[in-house]
Amino acid sequence: MTLLTFLAFGWDKRLAKNGKRRLAESVLLILTFVGGTFGALIGMTYFRHKFSKKTFIFKLIVVVVVQLAIIFLLKEHLTNQ
């Protein structure tokens, strides 16, 4: 998932540079949510992509916080059994 998300950020950057129709932000965020967090962060850094979009950064932070909350809740649930 990390590799797929990384490649999606690179592909979106390429589309942006060529003035073509881009991937929807929701696609990038969904890929991030379902396991591509590190790929998203590495892709954003490597391709220098989406850093200037404050709304995207906010949404990405929300995705990471939700992921951390899910991990915490699962850990608590599984260790209390």
Burial class (CB in 10 A: 0-12, 13-18, 19+), 28: buried
What's the token pair of residue 27? Answer: 């696609």
Convert the pLDDT of each residue in 42-64 to its tens digit: 999 999 999 889 999 999 999 99
pLDDT of 12: 96
CB 22 within 8 A of CB 16: yes
Say what the pTM is: 0.88
CB 56 within 8 A of CB 50: yes
Domains in the chain: boundaries: 2-79
